Amino acid sequence: MTLDARSVTLHLGLLAVLVVLGFVLPTYHQGNLARILVLATYTIGYNVLFGYTGLLSLGHAMFFAAGMYGCGLVMHLGGWPVLPALLMGLVCAAALSAVVALLALRTIGVAFMIVTLMFAQAVYLTVLYLGAWTGGDEGFVIAQASRQIAGFALTDPLTRYFAALMIFAVALLITARMMQMPFGRVLIGVRENEERTQMLGYDVFRHKLLAVIISGTIAGGAGAAYAILFGYVGATFASVQYSIFPLLWVLLGGMGTTIGPLIGVAFMFYLIDYASGLTNAYMLIAGAVLVLLTLFARAGIVGEIRNRWVPWLP
Amino acid sequence: MTKLLKTSRRTLLKSAGAGALMASSPLLGRFASAQSSEPIKIGFQQHSTGIGAAYGRWYGRTTDAAVKMINEAGGINGRPVEIIAEDDGTDPKRGAEVVEKFANQHNCDVAFGTLFSHVVIGSAPAAGEQKLPYFVVSEGHHVASGGLNRYTMQPGITDVKSQVQAMAPYVAENLGKKVTMIFPDFAFGHDHRDFFTAAIEAQGGEVLEHIAVPPAETSFTKYFPKIPRDTEVLYHVMVGPAVLTFVKELGEFFGPSSPAIFGFIDSLEAVDLASPGLEFLEGTYFWEGNPRYAQEDQTSYDKNFRAAVGVDENGASVSDASDVSTYAHMFGCWETLHIIKAGMESADYQGPADRQKLIEAVEAMTDMAESDAHPQGPKMFNGKTHQVFGVQYISKVENGRLVKVHTTSIEDTMYPDEVDYTTQSF
């Protein structure tokens, strides 16, 4: 079996398993998995920039929030239906990521991290400042009645699950394919050795610019999806912790792996969920597990599997 | 020797028919359910970690005390009450997940206890979708503003709009009419800004300056020169970890000569008034949802409430005098649990199928007399807006204690309805 064929089988097989899980999981876990799929979509977006291009952003929450507010505000204030609102979320995230990329890519390394962090903080404070429309830190609810497509209520657990799966599948397949194309190879080249890539004649700035825009737009799509599927838009999602989360999830799942984001989000979600049932000091448990993973699985869960047993894992 | 149990097809059909009859008969179903000793499960969405942890700790203690009292009195409809607490980390995303966990994994009958507004607003859609009655103890205006849904109610604590509005008559008559407001520059502060400004203007007063402090601020000295010289009353409300710094710096700025100072106790909930640097608060005024210090005219209800929760006459834990309670808010948990009990008994609640009846029973409530179930004071519930209204207290710091100087009427706190949830379908 060629690498491409194995990759296609893996991704389609994963999606088939997720389809089956939608029907067999109990309601609680079905709801959890819907959230995990949306957050994994966000993490896939982050992985494009961090995992494949090697640019560590500390401000991705601004892209997630751009999609969330771009979509949520037109639904809440303008009464837009779901699909045009989703498109608006994507446009907002793409526009913001293009502007941020043009400015932030003038820097590299630690400076890039700091600049993205500062831009994200500016977006967060803007959300608070425009409280009359955004609801400030409290946020706002998107009416249940407006969250439907062609008569299918997205508040129905099964419909919501498959909507989340669809968004995840699109992001997964696009990025998986992209990383097998020359464009994706150049991104990996930038990560491995930027100077050499430049000397080979590739336009590194243009590739990094496109990487930020693609990454930010996918993150924004996840933000818009969260607003539509779960009915809440709030400034918390623009705060710094939601910039740190995708970094954590990518590191846990395995940076530069296509299925790592899903594994990382799911692992962290259920670690918190179960540990919080045992003790109020559940973050201590989470912290201890993360330290162990850092010590014994430095490449993340999927990354470690790739390094040890399955070298072809995309 | 093992005897094999043989079941004929006829016997099986008879048994199945009898079973189907039992299951389909509502009367028999109710009887069977009424005889159940299964506990009523109440999901307690607790801020055990995150910015709301100090509140969450005391909300937890109050909840445990109320449930103990309810169970000792026979429970609800003859069934014991079981609290299932889940930490939401004071985070709206986790809050929604916790509500779904209550509904789908713990099979709770209702959920209750959320305080911070962003967590309430983030969780309310999940409660509406799960059709899980969601009793919040938040004091936010989000319920009465009409932004949530029919399953979300706030029957045990008043909202910020009514609290703020009720302060204006006393402030205008006793402290002054030229007010400068200092508040955090996010929704909680904006509520104070908007509601108090309108209320003081209705009393013939005015706000000379609105000073909004960014949420991440850690030093406040640079804001104080913005306070106009002719300010008669300084109105402050601040929350978060920088509160102590704020109050200390305010004292250092004014020294012995300051305008009258009026604040919301939210600034100092769970903080000992004897903390170094707070001496300057002597002679200033505070809104209190419930007087932290036992007053001269303390009711037997307040006395019983303190004893049950384990709070001394200074508002601190009986086992640790430095562990100051969130007394102005935590009574809301106590009262809400008693309202859930009253609602379930009124609706003859037997299980999740009766959730709509429970909502309707609570919506039908009106007057709530001061009692052991309502130790904070009398209240009036508005079933249309799902919001309760009740008396508010103003206290003055005298000799390091908060001494009650004014009690508002319930009417002072009321405002026109902004929503009618009863018109929404279930």
So what's the pLDDT on residue B241?
65
What is the end-to-end Cα distance of chain B in Å, rounded?
A: 58
pLDDT tens string B2-47: 344 444 445 444 544 444 444 444 444 444 444 467 999 999 999 9
> B272, exposed or middle or buried, with CB in 10 Å at 0-12, 13-18, 19+?
middle
Domains B40-158+329-390+418-423 and B161-321+394-407 share a fold: yes
* Residue A311 pLDDT: 87
Of B48, B92, B100, the CB nearest to A234: B92
Phi and psi (nearest 5°) for B206?
Answer: -150, 155
- Report the residue of chain B nearest A136, measured CA to CA: B187
Give the pLDDT confidence score for residue B120 in this predicted structure. Answer: 96
pLDDT given for residue B384 in this prediction: 97
pLDDT at residue A280, as a whole number: 82
Task: Please answer yes or no on whether B97 and A155 come within 8 Å at the CB atom.
Answer: no
Q: What's the confidence (pLDDT) of residue B253?
A: 87
Residues 111-150 of B with CB under 8 A from A: 117-118, 121-122, 124-126, 128-129, 140, 142, 147-149
The whole-number pLDDT of residue B36 equals 65
* Chain B residue numbers touching A131 (CB-CB < 8 A): 186-187, 190
Q: Are A130 and B185 in contact (CB under 8 A)?
A: no
Residue A120: its pLDDT value, please? 97
Best of A29, A39, A138, A276 to mutate (most B CBs within 10 Å, chain B):
A138
CB atoms within 10 A of CB A102: 13
Asked if residues B210 and B193 have their Cβ atoms less than 8 Å apart, the reply is yes
In B293-343 the beta strands, taken as DSSP E runs, fall at 316-317, 320-324
pLDDT at A192: 94
How many A/B residue pairs have CB atoms within 8 Å?
A: 93
d(CA B9, CA B213): 78
Q: What is the mean pLDDT of chain B?
A: 89
pLDDT at res. A1: 52
Chain B neighbors of A229, CB-CB under 8 A: none
Predicted local distance difference test score (pLDDT) of residue B240: 64
Please answer yes or no on whether A230 and B188 come within 8 Å at the CB atom: no
Cross-chain Cβ contact B118/A138 below 8 Å: yes
From chain A, pick out residues whose CB is under 8 angstroms from the CB of B128. 144
Place B291 in a pLDDT band, splitting at 50, 70 and 90: very high
Q: Which residue ranges make up each domain of chain B?
A: 40-158+329-390+418-423, 161-321+394-407
Q: Which residues of chain A have pLDDT under 50?
A: none
Q: Report the distance separating Cα B2 and Cα B236, nearest Å.
A: 81
More confident residue, A72 or B274: A72
Using CA coordinates, name the residue in chain A closest to B213.
A129
Considering only alpha carbons, which residue of chain B is nearest residue A76? B147
| pLDDT per position as a tens digit, B78-120 | 999 999 999 999 999 999 999 999 999 999 999 998 899 999 9
Kindly report the nearest CA distance between residue A305 and chain B, in angstroms.
30
Q: What is the pLDDT of residue B32?
A: 43
Q: Could you say which of 3.30.70.2190, 3.90.930.60, 3.40.50.2300, 2.20.25.90 is the CATH number of the domain covering B161-321+394-407?
A: 3.40.50.2300
Q: Give the right CATH number for B40-158+329-390+418-423 from 3.90.600.10, 3.50.50.60, 3.40.50.2300, 3.20.20.150.
A: 3.40.50.2300
- Taking the CA of residue B174 and the nearest CA in chain A, the distance in Å comes to 32
What the block records as the tokens of B158 is 């008043």
Q: Are A257 and A302 in contact (CB under 8 A)?
A: yes
What span, in angstroms and rounded, lies between the C-alpha atoms of A222 and A139?
18
**Quick check: A138 and B49 CB within 8 A?**
no
